[in-house]
Amino acid sequence: TAQTQLSTLTAEAEAAREEWRLLHGDAPVPTLVGKEPQLQEARAKVAAAQANLDAAELNLERTRITLPWNGRILETHVDQGAVVNANQAIATAYATDVFELAVSLRQEQLKWIRLPGETAAAETPEGESDRIVVQMEYPGATAEAIEQELTRPIEEAAKALEGLMNIDSKSGGGQSLVSIRTTGEFSRQQTVDKLAIALDQIADFPPEGSGPLRILLGDAPTTAQVQVDVSGEPLNLHGRVVRMGGQLGSMSRFAEVILEVDTTSIAPELQQRVLPGLFAQATLEGRTLSEVTPIPRSSRRDQGVFWTVEDGRIAYVTPEIV
């Protein structure tokens, strides 16, 4: 090799210089006796070989392909040693932290579904709701991390609000949802402004990697509880509606709602068994209604009339069915 040749020439040159000193004392060693031309050529060969090695290592590094998320290779499209061109597909992969689930709903059920970004605080008519929802995404984070780093700080900020009635929160599915119910003593915009200021004063909030904070009036985007059977073991997962399908089913005329299901909350050994194509059962949490009362179907009379008692007298009403 070039390095071996350089080492051999260096030793020979040193021996030649030592022999010259024994014969000629302190006289300058001639260039040819000291093998300087041969040494320069050998050093150049070593440098060229090192450059070739660096280029080969760089090319090898460029053949290593990584994914920006936890995932699994579904299929490969090239073999070892193949030449890959720009824009050529080399493999198909999917993420294992988040899956999508298509749920079919009747068209009349869509009114209970709220899509992300439908209505923000500034877009909701004044007086329509006394409920404020703080939503923040944290893709890939576990439910425990979302609870600790997002939900709890938001709850602490909400507790400082005047006119607070209650707080309800959910952590999971890659997001935090904190629902705040107020008395309506203050205007909605005042409450939103105070909450935004309180959140802005929290140290190290929001955590790196979390999504933008949104304050909504009314119901939060629809969430879901998803159950799948993995190797005979039922798993409960968190999901959320992310979008709707582009068209109705050609035969069923059902609409398709797409859920994003988070699997980071389950054990890694079970997460590996959650595969595309599994059947799942989803329970969607629709819009929240106020001033409604459940009535047993058995109490319904002819023509949809219900009897009530007012001031000791029987009266009948025709309710509005939601």
Residues in a beta bridge with 261:
99, 239
Mean pLDDT of 115-133: 56
**Residue 290: pLDDT band with limits 50, 70, 90:** low
190-204: pLDDT as tens digits: 778 888 888 888 878
Torsion of CA 265, 227, 173, 292, to 10 degrees: -140
**Residue 112: pLDDT band with limits 50, 70, 90:** confident
pLDDT at 123: 42
- Single pTM value for the model: 0.56
pLDDT at 318: 80
131-189: pLDDT as tens digits: 778 888 887 777 888 888 888 888 888 887 777 777 888 787 777 888 887 776 667 77
- The C-alpha atoms of residue 4 and residue 12 are separated, in whole angstroms, by 12
Residues in a beta bridge with 315:
308
| Weakest-pLDDT range from 13-17, 97-101, 122-126, 280-284 | 122-126
Mean pLDDT of 223-247: 84
Mean pLDDT of 286-293: 72
Q: Is the dihedral of CA 234, 239, 244, 245 positive or negative?
A: negative
Q: What percent of the chain has pLDDT over 90?
A: 2
Residue 245 has pLDDT above 80, yes or no: yes
Residue 234 has pLDDT above 50, yes or no: yes
| Weakest-pLDDT range from 37-46, 117-126, 225-234 | 117-126
pLDDT at 122: 42
- The C-alpha atoms of residue 137 and residue 170 are separated, in whole angstroms, by 12
pLDDT at 120: 45
Q: What's the distance, CA 125 to chain centroid? A: 32
pLDDT at 219: 64
- The C-alpha atoms of residue 276 and residue 262 are separated, in whole angstroms, by 13
pLDDT at 118: 59
pLDDT at 186: 67
- The C-alpha atoms of residue 49 and residue 4 are separated, in whole angstroms, by 12
Mean pLDDT of 71-79: 87
Residue 20 has pLDDT above 80, yes or no: no
- The C-alpha atoms of residue 73 and residue 307 are separated, in whole angstroms, by 63
Integer CA distances (angstroms), 58 to 51, 52, 53, 55, 61, in order: 11, 10, 9, 5, 5
* DSSP character at residue 161: -
Residue 125 has pLDDT above 70, yes or no: no
pLDDT at 235: 85
Q: Is the dihedral of CA 183, 185, 189, 194 positive or negative?
A: negative
